[in-house]
Amino acid sequence: MINLQNKIRVETSSSSMSDLVFLLLIFFMITSTLINPNALPLNLPESSSDTRVKQDLSIYITFNENGETVYHLRDGELQIQREELQDQLLQLLADSPRDAAIVVRADKLIPVEEIVYTLDAVNQINDADNENHAHKVSLATIGKE
């Protein structure tokens, strides 16, 4: 039997592969911290003056005892849910002037989504109205104390 002096070993070094994985990990960690989401900082308004806006209708947005968002119309006389808002506004604004002023007063903890929903409901009424109404919406702010 003949013994061969040159034996071929089949081995690969994993050190270069681990270096490559480590470098890729560092690269992705650094680039992920540089990516900012498309969000804007929101500074809620405060008023330094006591200017009052003429109002034809007030909408109060609060939470009820179950933690659900509730809309109050006609100075709190009418309490409705979100689904009923546009229909109730349409009824209340039917006899109002062309440029009726609507004031939205929201609790401090109310999500901005609810305020935007209210603004959108008024805009949809303005767009769908055949008499070309242009109801104006104002967001009530709290004065500095």
Mean pLDDT of the chain: 78
User: Can you tell me the distance from the alpha carbon of 37 to that of 9, in angstroms, rounded to the nearest whole number?
Assistant: 52
Strand bridging mode 142-143 / 78-80:
unpaired
Structure confidence at residue 23 (pLDDT) = 93
Residue 26 in this model has a pLDDT that exceeds 90 = yes
User: Can you tell me the distance from the alpha carbon of 97 to that of 131, in angstroms, rounded to the nearest whole number?
Assistant: 11
| pLDDT band at 25; cut points 50, 70, 90 | very high
**pTM for this model (two decimals):** 0.58
Higher pLDDT, 34 or 85: 85
Structure confidence at residue 40 (pLDDT) = 42
71 pairs with which residues across the strands?
61, 80
Structure confidence at residue 51 (pLDDT) = 63
CATH number of 52-143: 3.30.420
Domain ranges for the chain: 52-143
Residue 123 in this model has a pLDDT that exceeds 80 = yes
Mean pLDDT of all residues in 114-127: 87
Q: pLDDT of 95-107, one tens digit each?
A: 777 788 888 888 7
Structure confidence at residue 42 (pLDDT) = 44
Residue 28 in this model has a pLDDT that exceeds 70 = yes
User: Can you tell me the distance from the alpha carbon of 40 to that of 49, in angstroms, rounded to the nearest whole number?
Assistant: 26
